[in-house]
Every structure is written in structure tokens, then in C-alpha cells.
Chains A and B, each alone.
Chain A
Amino acid sequence: MDTARNRGGRRFRAVAVALCAAGASALAFALPASAKTWTIAIADMRFQPASVTVARGDTIVWVNHDLVPHTVTSEASRFDSHTIAPGGNWRYRATAPGRYPYACTFHPAMHATLIVKEKEKQ
């Protein structure tokens, strides 16, 4: 039955879909088209690999394979995971190009570097 209420509902859904599509388009422009996700293992009390180069907009996931907690803490205070429990992980989206040495605040010997480069134009 095509009541006024149903017609209103259809109009609302149509507007909502249009807005979502517009939002998605805006998001697509804001994000690099080919943003990647990188995984860094925390295992045997080391960050592996110890140096990773990513592009701006990429996401890095640190996965803690050890039996003890760790942190991923930028030495210049750019990012800090706080405690990553054994078996847990932490994601970070790299938004600013630069070279970021980081460490585990619990284990002073654990150091590594994240390098974020400007996205190359395609």
C-alpha cells in the first residue's frame, strides 16, 4: 500500500543513500587510493622488521606474539600504543611524513624506526 508514510520513508532512504554516497566519495578523495596495511611482529623481544618504510595514509599493525606486554611508543611523542597485551595488536595510520624512532617503554633495548614517505603521484 503506497501510503504517505511509506512514500516519506522511501524519500528518507533515498536521501540517506545519497548522503552516504557523497560521504564515501569525500572519504575516497581524502584517503590515498591505494593505502596499504603493514604488519610488524613483536616477537622474541624485538620489533620485526626493525625498520619499515610506508607511505602517508598507510596503516601499520603491530602484533604482540610475546608472552609479555609491550608498547609502541614514538620517541618524539608522535604516537603511543600504551600497553599491548600478549596476543594483542595496535593499529596506527601514518598521516605525517617523517622518520619516527620508537621503542617499548617497558623494555629499553627494544628500538625500531617507522619511516613515512609522501605518497608518490601516480
Chain B
Amino acid sequence: MNLKPIPKLLLAVALAAPAFYAQAGADAPTDAQIAAIVVTANQVDIDAGKLAQQKGSSSDVKAFAQTMVRDHTGVNQAAADLVHKLNVTPEPNATSASLKQGGDENLAKLRALSGKAFDKAYVDHEVAYHQAVLDAMDKTLIPDAKNAELKALLVKVRPAFVAHLSHAKALDEQLDGHGQE
């Protein structure tokens, strides 16, 4: 039984999660703030995916990155359509700012890496990131969304994040040499 990946994963979750708890103790986010958090969360993963499409080493990592760019672009399009329809202006807030900062730091770290080290760091972060997004959706974003259509959009997009998390975990195991090639 090899427990090596677990501490690394916990560390990655610990690094990615604080962005979603920047408002811990503060009032629940408004719909305009939730919209900004959703758009930023997607954009951060699109940016990381675009970098991985260029710098990724394995074809599986590149394909995963392409799926992240494709899917999160689709989600952001749906979110943009909805906020336009609802006449809501996404309102930047501490959580969205923290997400952006975390995304920029991740990009800076990834730009300094190459080859297998890049693949591993990118995929590790994707596991932690999607876990943190799901936690935030379940504990804050979905329960706190007031508008029914915004809540429905979050509920509808949740299975995609679950699938991305599973995909990233399988890729992570593959990179560690435990999965199928």
C-alpha cells in the first residue's frame, strides 16, 4: 500500500482551498458576488489549461488541458448569458480576488517547470483546485445563491466539476505510475 500521494494531495488542497474561504466569517456572498466567483474560477482554470496545452509533456495531460479549456469556456459562456439575462453585473470581491491571485501564482510556478515536473505540478493543482471548487459550491455558492436560475446553473454545472476531478485524479495516479498507460 503506497501512501505517498496522499500527503502531497493534502498539501495541494491546503494551498488551493483558502481562496474559497477568503470570506469566511463574513456575510454570505450576494448573487453578483457569486457570479464574479464563478467567472473567475472558470477563467483561472482556462488560463492554466492554455499553458498546459503549450507546455504539457504527455499527450494525456495535453488532452485533459484541452478539455478543461473547452469545458470551462462553455460554462463561462452559460454564466455570461445568464448574468446578461438577469441584468446582474458580476461584483469582484475578496474571494474572486483571492482566486485570481492563486491562479496567477500557479501560472508563475508552472512557467518555471517543464517536462514531467510540469505535468505533475499542473495535474496536482487541478485535483486540489476542482476539490476546492466543489467544496465551495456545496458549502457556499449553491446554498447562498438567491436567484433560482443562478442556483440552477450551479447545480447543472456541478457534475462537470465532479467528472473533471475524477479525470484529474486518474491522470495523477497515471503520472505516479499507479494507473493504466
A/B pair count, beta carbons within 8 Å: 38
| Docked complex: B26-68 residues within 8 A CB-CB of A | 67
With a cutoff of 8 Å between Cβ atoms, the chain B residues found around residue A110 in the complex are 163
A107 lies within 8 A of chain B by Cβ: yes
In the complex, the answer to whether B74 meets A45 with C-beta atoms within 8 Å is no
Interface 0/1 of B55-90, CB less than 8 Å to A: 000000000000100110011001000000000000
Instruction: Give the distance in Å from the alpha carbon of A108 to the alpha carbon of B160 in the complex.
Output: 12
Say yes or no: is B12 at the interface (Cβ < 8 Å to chain A): no
A38 at interface by CB-CB < 8 Å: no
Q: Select which of B74, B162, B163 is within 8 A of A69 by beta carbon.
A: B74
Asked whether A44 and B70 contact (CB < 8 A) given A86-B78, A109-B167, the answer is no
Q: How far is the CA of A2 from the CA of B71 in the complex (A)?
A: 66
Chain A positions within 8 Å of B157 at CB level = 67
Which residues does chain B contribute within 8 Å of A109, judged by CB atoms?
163, 166-167
CB neighbors of B among A13-65 (8 A): 44-46
In Å, the complex CA distance between A68 and B167 comes to 15
User: Chain A residues in contact with chain B, CB under 8 A?
Assistant: 44-46, 66-69, 86, 106-110
Q: Which residues of B contact A (CB under 8 A)?
A: 67, 70-71, 74-75, 78, 153, 156-157, 159-160, 162-163, 166-167, 170
21 examples of A-B residue contacts, CB within 8 angstroms? A44-B159, A45-B159, A45-B162, A45-B163, A46-B159, A66-B156, A67-B74, A67-B75, A67-B153, A67-B156, A67-B160, A68-B71, A69-B74, A86-B78, A106-B71, A107-B67, A107-B167, A109-B163, A109-B166, A109-B167, A110-B163
